[in-house]
């Protein structure tokens, strides 16, 4: 009887833990820029990881993928497309301190921005 009770308690705790993992991510107000990278004005559902470098910001934009590629290339000197795999596009700055991945997401795009070092 005791083994069954422990098993039931363990199963309950595990299912509660898996439910908490599936909870909505913590979001913040989207900034207008992130370590000198201009964030599109329609960015929403921003998730910021680390305020100090290296730092990452992830957000959703209703802007099409190619328009976002154009935006980052125009607003950040030296930003270029270096790879496109399975619909995801990787842009990096010529100093490799900035990486941006733009992925299709429903009717818009998910953008992952990573800043590894100080911008010039």
Element (H, E) at 6: helix 2-21
Q: For the residues of 16-53, what is the DSSP string, one character each?
A: HHHHHHTSPPP-BPPPSEETTEEPPTT-EEEEEE-SSS
Residue 37 lies in a domain: yes
Number of H helices, E strands in the chain: 2, 8
Per the domain annotation, does 42 fall within a domain? yes
What tens digit of pLDDT does each residue of 77-101 get? 889 999 999 999 999 998 889 999 9
Domain membership of residue 102 as a residue range: 24-115
Residue 14 lies in a domain: no
Q: Cβ of 33: how many Cβ atoms within 10 Å?
A: 10
pTM: 0.76
In the chain, the number of structural domains is 1
Cα–Cα distance, 56 to 115 (Å, whole number): 6
Domain annotation covers residue 3: no
- Domain presence at residue 120: no
For residue 16, being part of any structural domain is answered with no
Tell whether the model's pLDDT for residue 11 goes beyond 70.
no
* Any domain includes 105: yes
Radius of gyration of the chain (CA): 19
22-70 per-position pLDDT tens digit: 566 788 899 999 988 999 999 999 999 887 899 999 999 999 999 999 9
């Amino acid at each position: 009887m005791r083994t069954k009770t422990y098993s039931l308690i363990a199963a309950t705790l595990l299912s509660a833990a898996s439910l908490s993992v599936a909870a909505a991510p913590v979001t913040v107000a989207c900034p207008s820029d992130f370590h000198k990278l201009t964030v599109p004005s329609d960015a929403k559902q921003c998730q910021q990881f680390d305020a100090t470098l290296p730092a990452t910001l992830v957000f959703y934009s209703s802007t099409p993928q190619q328009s976002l590629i154009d935006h980052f290339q125009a607003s950040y000197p030296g930003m270029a497309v270096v790879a496109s795999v399975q619909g995801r596009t990787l842009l990096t700055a010529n100093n490799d301190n900035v990486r941006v991945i733009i992925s299709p997401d429903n009717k818009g795009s998910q953008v992952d921005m990573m800043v590894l070092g100080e911008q010039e």
